[in-house]
Amino acid sequence: MLNAIKKVPAGTFLVPMLISSILYTFWPNLFQVGGLTEHIFGG
C-alpha cells in the first residue's frame, strides 16, 4: 500500500487528508468520543 501512496505526488500528505475528509463528510461526529478527547480536538 505504501508503494501506491508513493506513486501519487505528495501522497503521504494528500492520501490521509482525502481519507479523513471523506470520513468527516459522512460521519462528522466520528471523532467526538467524549471527555478529554472531545475537549482537546472538538470545536
Here the cell at position 36 is 478529554
Q: Which residues contact 6 (CB under 8 A, 6 or more apart)?
A: 12
Q: Are 32 and 42 in contact (CB under 8 A)?
A: yes
Distances 37 to 19, 22, 23, 24, 42 between C-alpha atoms, Å: 21, 21, 18, 16, 8
Predicted confidence (pLDDT) per residue in 1-43, tens digit:
778 777 878 888 888 889 989 998 998 877 766 677 667 776 5
pLDDT at 39: 72
To the question of pTM greater than 0.85 for the whole model, the response is no
Q: Note the pLDDT of residue 37.
A: 67
pLDDT of residue 10: 82
Residue 16: which of 26, 5, 25 has the closest Cα? Answer: 5
Q: If you ran DSSP here, which 8-state letter would residue 41 be given?
A: H
pLDDT recorded at residue 22: 93
